[in-house]
Amino acid sequence: MLEYIYKGKTETLKSELSEITLKEFIQILNLQKSSEADFEFYLDTFELLGFSKELCDAIDTKTLFKLISDFKDALKSDGEFIKKIEVDGYIYSAANSFADDEFVINGREFSKIESKMKVDEFGWIAYAMAIIFKREDLSSVEHKDETHIKHKKSLFLDNVKMDVALPYVMAITKDYIDNIKILAS
Amino acid sequence: MFPSSWHEITVGEYIELKEIENDDDLSFFGKNLEKICLLTDSDEWDEKPANQIFKVIKENDWLVSKIPGNYKKEIDDFKLIPFHKLTLAEWIDIEGYIIKDKILNVIALIYKQHKVDEWGNIEFEPYKYKTDDRLSKFENCYITDVYGAIEDVVKFRENVLSNYSELFVNLDEDFEATEEDKEFLSEKEIEEIKQDIKKQNERKEFAWQKLLDDISGGDWTRIEKLLEMPVLFVFNMLLMKEKFRD
């Protein structure tokens, strides 16, 4: 969390991956896509992550450069896979997607995620998390049920943070880039 | 055991592979996963690591290669009919099968039983059979035995349609008035054009019936005989009539 005092009041900015939700991350990606300039993107992002509009409109360039630099430093991921999360009192586990402590996604799940990639440029990230993380008290039939996956997706959007999601997103994207694009071409 | 080339793929399997390929709901990886499950007759691949499936896809790039065009002229007791010998009835059905992508029916139609007559000529069986009754005979033959024949009959059809283009009227699928149309035509006139095209398209569904009615001179008892005539002869005669009408 970065802090900035503006007009005698302390304003806070979520800057750690453990503070940013999946929903906010997807919003940031959309901002990045639609912004015509870098600084515009950062100002919109800072507003999304906690700063007031008044502060973002008034911020001077020197402070903005410093904030961007601090923000980038804080956003780093250690790449560690978190394999269990608790949401609304239930434990969700990604243990099935690991073999010898290595993240290994199975064919059917990858196929579903890739289909979502085709139609939802950034929303697939939340869908992928819903596919990978399975509620421990439910059966494999329920894990595969699309309605349940959809429910998990909307639950995770507000409750799962990017320190959990990013290593998975990076691994899936790497598989996608390494294999699919070469094959498809 | 995973097949190693198109030479090991049956017509039935090819049709299923094509259905998978044309499934817009499936992604690139999803299509390949379905194909692997189909060709190994196993769903175990669903649970296997994606990277292992990628490896299988890479090793079997023949699946995206062109199917060899050398085909068999004879399959068991069936012989490929020279396309210029196709009758009007056979042409009408082939048209329908090609448009609906029913390749097994195309195969069952163009490979026919035959005999050698007393003069040593090859005589093909008349078109008295239903292709649907013969699908099972060809479902298990290899796609490489027949694929080139299908390509050739499609080419033959395209050539005929092009050579006799004056006989086939292409209608607009739909009519949307442009800004220019709106400037010069009243709303009523635009609506009349739309209705006219709609009516013509509805008539198009009965194009073959209309043709048969025309060439039989309205005498439907003659239609059966006309259907047995070589299609190229019928089209030549129609084209000649068209020219003289001009």
Residues A67 and A140 in one domain: no
Q: Among A19, A52, A74, identify where a domain stops.
A: A74
The CA distance from A44 to B163, in Å, is 63
- Residue A111 and residue B45: Cβ atoms within 8 Å? no
Nearest chain B residue to A111 by CA: give it. B30
- Is the same domain home to A102 and A175? yes
Same domain, A61 and A114: no
Question: Could you tell me if A106 and A23 lie in one domain?
Answer: no
> A24 to chain B, minimum CA–CA distance in Å?
27
On chain A, the residues whose CB falls within 8 A of the CB of B30 are 111-112, 114-115
Residue A125 lies in a domain: yes
A166 within domain boundaries? yes
User: Are both A176 and A148 inside the same structural domain?
Assistant: yes
Report CB contact under 8 Å: B49, A107. Answer: yes
Chain B residues with beta carbon closer than 8 angstroms to that of A117: 27
Last residue of a domain, one of A74, A104, A127: A74
Residue A128 lies in a domain: yes
Are residues B49 and A118, on separate chains, in Cβ contact within 8 Å?
Answer: no
* Beta strands per DSSP E along A35-89: 84-87
Q: Which two tokens stand for residue A25?
A: 């991350």
Asked, for residue A96, whether it belongs to a domain, the answer is yes
Count of structural domains within chain A = 2
Q: Residue B172 above 60 pLDDT?
A: no
If you measure CA to CA, which chain A residue comes closest to B58? A183
**In this structure, what token pair is assigned to residue B47?**
């649970």
For residues A39 and A92, membership in a common domain is answered with: no
A contacts of B35 (beta carbons < 8 Å): none
Rg (CA), chain A: 18
Phi/psi region, residue A100 (left: phi>0; alpha: psi -120 to 50; beta: rest), is left
Q: Do B50 and A106 touch (CB under 8 A)?
A: yes
Domain identity same for A90 and A66: no
What would the pLDDT profile of A44-71 be if each residue is shown by its tens digit? 999 999 999 988 988 888 888 988 998 8
Average pLDDT over residues B81-101: 94
Residues A98 and A152 in one domain: yes
Over the stretch A95-152, which tens digit does the pLDDT of each residue have? 989 988 899 999 999 999 999 998 999 999 999 999 999 999 998 899 989 999 999 9
Identify whether residues A94 and A145 lie together within a single domain. yes
Q: Can you give the pTM of this predicted structure?
A: 0.79
Per-residue model confidence (pLDDT) at position A36: 80
CB–CB contact B58 A183 (8 Å): yes
From the candidates B20, B21, B24, B29, which should be mutated to test the interface with A, based on the most A CB atoms within 10 A? B29
Question: Is residue A134 included in any domain, yes or no?
Answer: yes
Q: Which of A28, A45, A74 is the last residue of a domain?
A: A74
What are the chain B neighbours of A171 within 8 Å (beta carbons)? Answer: none
| Structural domain harbouring A98 | 84-184
Q: What are phi and psi of B116, to 5 degrees?
A: -100, 125
Cα–Cα distance for residue pair B9/B6, rounded to 1 Å: 5
In a domain, A79, yes or no: no
Q: Do residues A62 and A101 share a domain? A: no
Q: Residue A28 and residue A33: Cα distance in Å, rounded?
A: 9
Block residue for tokens 């906690």:
A50
Please judge whether A107 and B28 are an interchain contact, meaning their C-beta atoms are less than 8 angstroms apart: no
Residue to test with chain A: of B23, B27, B61, most A Cβ within 10 A: B27
Per-residue confidence (pLDDT) for residue B241, from 0 to 100 = 83
User: Looking at the structure, do residues A92 and A179 belong to the same domain, yes or no?
Assistant: yes
Which of A47-51, A106-110, B32-36, B170-174 comes out lowest in average pLDDT? B170-174
Q: Tell me, yes or no, whether A24 and A43 share the same domain.
A: yes
Cross-chain residue pair A175–B26, CB shorter than 8 Å:
no
